[in-house]
């Protein structure tokens, strides 16, 4: 049995990486990267009306532009195509998450092996952090300004892969929680006592017909208590990571607010904010490097892990072979016969594909909408970025209390949060109705953006914790990293679809507001799929599932 101090050391290591990496999402990925990439394109772009006047030379480009107004629309030439400056940011993000998906698939199997999980996490974390820091050294006036897209891609890929490795620790951490360990010991003792009693009954009643004997009530009760506590421990640890990450993001946003405000939102101020997130990411990853288990960690459920331990001991382990094996395993995982065995897990992944893409695109689209349509200054957008995670922390603390009071299941909470969050893009669609003469309503004023930030953060902060913990209950044991890799593909790595379509909508219509209709459709489509997930059956199927060897 693992000591309590050893468990706390591992837990603190895991939480420290959540504290380090989530800053990149809150500060850069959600807020400053979309703005900065759009500003890079704007600094090198021209007015769409004549394609001669530089956007930075136009006095009208920073003025409020009514929806669909073409006068101040800024476009930049990439290759043979003219692209809207806002679409450039969305296309870069789309490419980055597509590459992230390919990378996550390739290395997901490596993260299932404790000997390499920690190295994978730290290696990609370092690559992502350095890429973020290099933004400081690349001005938008540089002839190679487009390399900003490459830095954004590498940073996002580094984050995605490292988080897959981090999430792979979550099930084992929950199982090592002292309360869970104690309940498991009680359950095993009760089962052993029941087996001894059963053996005695078999000797005295050998002539009785063979029937399947049901387990006694105390064993069933202990098993139910164990599963419930394991689920709570997983949710608790996951929510702690989310809350700490949000707190870290708020701290750095407050720090970044000073130079961005002093420099009046210049491109350098935006680059500096991204660079600071890279420094934070690298610095606070050090405790994770010291405390997370590495090569010394035992392999859980070793028969399920596709790593040849004999080759490992003989020094024949090969990254190339592991990557090929990962793609081979993905092929097995996505066979129809395998999908049917884990149908509830795959139903959840199908819903999550739409949900995550929709939520991520809502965040990036709202920021670009605020900048290009509502003409919000960089300092105001930072304030939106601060309000959202602050509200997220409040939501992550409030929703578990509501769940306990109304006795809702995790499944029901997720569905409720989905329905409530879908009202954000629906409200943006109302902007076409011209609700009032004061131009208030339907996200037509800056003040409404602040209100929606509070509302959306309150839902999204809770949803992230519930979604990750809920998925952990549907995973085959010993294969956490592979399945979290698939989760990542349908999470951040699926999000190339939303930004790509929103970018196309913006380019075709010249009005990014039309994308809100698409976002409403994505969220509402996911709800019926989520409602069909049978949690108890899915948990049972996952526990009994084994891959063909």
Tokens, residue 154: 């590498």
What radius of gyration, in Å, describes the C-alpha atoms of the chain? 25
* Range 6-36 burial, b when 16+ CB lie within 10 A, else e: ebebbbebbbbbbbbbbbbbbbbbbbbbbbb
By C-alpha distance, which of 48, 51, 52, 37 is closest to 508? Answer: 48
Question: Tens digit of pLDDT for each residue in 413-432?
Answer: 889 999 998 999 899 888 87
pLDDT at residue 241 is higher than 60:
yes
Q: What is the pLDDT of residue 307?
A: 44
By C-alpha distance, which of 233, 254, 288, 237 is closest to 389? Answer: 254
Residue 20 pLDDT class (50, 70, 90 cuts): very high
Instruction: Say what angle helices 147-168 and 114-133 make with each other, to 10 degrees.
Output: 150
pLDDT at residue 285 is higher than 90:
yes
Question: Tens digit of pLDDT for each residue in 74-104?
Answer: 888 887 888 888 788 878 888 887 888 888 8
Residue 477 pLDDT class (50, 70, 90 cuts): confident
Alpha carbon distance 392, 510 (integer Å): 32
Residue 316 pLDDT class (50, 70, 90 cuts): low
Alpha carbon distance 440, 100 (integer Å): 40
**Lowest mean pLDDT segment, chosen from 25-29, 56-60, 435-439:** 435-439
84 with 70: CB under 8 angstroms? no
Q: What is the pLDDT of residue 131?
A: 97
pLDDT at residue 63 is higher than 50:
no
pLDDT at residue 197 is higher than 70:
no
Question: Tens digit of pLDDT for each residue in 353-412?
Answer: 888 878 878 877 888 788 878 888 877 888 888 888 888 888 887 888 888 788 787 788
Q: How big is the chain, counted in residues?
A: 549
Residue 529 pLDDT class (50, 70, 90 cuts): very high
Kindly state the helix (H) or strand (E) to which residue 9 belongs, with its residue range. Answer: helix 4-23
Residue 450 pLDDT class (50, 70, 90 cuts): very high
Q: What is the pLDDT of residue 302?
A: 42
Q: What is the pLDDT of residue 58?
A: 60
Task: Walk me through the domains of the chain, giving residue ranges and CATH numbers.
Answer: 4-48+74-193+217-296+311-544 (1.20.1250.20)
Alpha carbon distance 495, 488 (integer Å): 10
Question: Tens digit of pLDDT for each residue in 155-178?
Answer: 999 998 898 888 888 888 888 888
Phi, psi torsion values for 75, nearest 5 degrees: -130, 150
Q: What is the pLDDT of residue 196?
A: 67
Give the angle 405-410-413 at the CA atoms, nearest 5°.
70
Beta bridge partners of 126: none
304 with 497: CB under 8 angstroms? no
**Average pLDDT of the residues of the chain:** 80
């Amino acid at each position: 049995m693992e000591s309590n101090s050893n468990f706390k050391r591992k837990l603190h290591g895991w939480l420290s990486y959540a504290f380090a990496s989530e800053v990149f999402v809150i500060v850069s990925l959600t807020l400053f990267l979309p703005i900065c990439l759009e500003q890079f394109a704007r600094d090198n772009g021209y007015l769409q009306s004549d394609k001669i006047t530089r956007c930075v030379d136009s006095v009208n480009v920073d003025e409020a532009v009514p929806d669909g107004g073409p006068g101040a629309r800024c476009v930049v030439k990439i290759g043979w195509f003219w692209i809207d400056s806002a679409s450039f940011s969305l296309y870069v993000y789309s490419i980055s998450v597509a590459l992230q998906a390919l990378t996550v698939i390739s290395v997901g199997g490596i993260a299932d092996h404790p000997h390499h999980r920690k190295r994978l996490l730290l290696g990609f974390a370092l690559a992502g952090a350095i890429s973020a820091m290099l933004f400081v050294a690349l001005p938008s006036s540089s002839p190679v300004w487009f390399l900003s897209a490459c830095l954004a891609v590498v940073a996002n890929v580094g984050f995605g892969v490292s988080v897959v490795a981090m999430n792979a620790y979550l099930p084992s951490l929950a199982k090592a929680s002292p309360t869970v360990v104690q309940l498991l010991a009680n359950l095993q003792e009760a089962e052993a006592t029941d087996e001894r009693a059963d053996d005695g009954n078999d000797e005295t009643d050998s002539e009785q017909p063979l029937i399947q004997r049901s387990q006694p009530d105390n064993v069933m009760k202990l098993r139910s208590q164990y599963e419930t506590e394991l689920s709570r421990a997983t949710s608790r640890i996951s929510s702690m990571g989310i809350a700490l990450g949000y707190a870290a993001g708020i701290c750095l946003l407050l720090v970044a607010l000073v130079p961005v405000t002093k420099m009046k939102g210049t491109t350098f101020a935006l680059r500096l904010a991204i660079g600071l997130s890279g420094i934070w990411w690298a610095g606070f990853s050090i405790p994770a490097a010291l405390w997370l288990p590495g090569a010394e960690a035992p392999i859980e459920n070793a028969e399920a892990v596709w790593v040849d331990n004999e080759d490992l001991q003989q020094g024949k382990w090969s990254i190339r072979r592991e990557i090929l094996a990962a793609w081979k395993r993905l092929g097995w995982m996505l066979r129809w016969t395998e999908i049917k065995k884990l149908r509830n897990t795959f139903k959840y992944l199908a819903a999550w594909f739409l949900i995550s893409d929709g939520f991520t695109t809502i965040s990036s689209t709202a920021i670009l909408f605020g900048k290009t349509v509502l003409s919000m200054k960089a300092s105001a957008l930072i304030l939106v970025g601060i309000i959202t995670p602050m509200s997220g922390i409040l939501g992550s603390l409030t929703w578990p209390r509501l769940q306990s009071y109304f006795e809702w299941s995790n499944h029901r909470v997720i569905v409720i949060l989905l329905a409530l969050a879908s009202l954000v893009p629906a409200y943006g669609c109302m902007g076409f109705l011209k609700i009032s003469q004061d131009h208030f309503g339907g996200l037509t004023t800056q003040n409404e953006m602040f209100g929606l930030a509070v509302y959306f953060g309150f839902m999204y902060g809770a949803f992230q914790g519930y979604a990750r913990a809920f998925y952990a209950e549907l995973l085959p044991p010993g294969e956490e990293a592979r399945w979290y890799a698939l989760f990542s593909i349908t999470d951040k790595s699926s999000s190339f679809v939303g930004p790509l379509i929103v970018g196309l909508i913006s380019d075709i219509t010249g009005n990014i507001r039309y994308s809100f209709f698409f976002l409403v459709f994505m969220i509402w489509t996911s709800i019926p799929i989520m409602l069909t997930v049978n949690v108890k059956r899915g948990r049972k199927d996952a526990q009994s599932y084994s891959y063909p060897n």
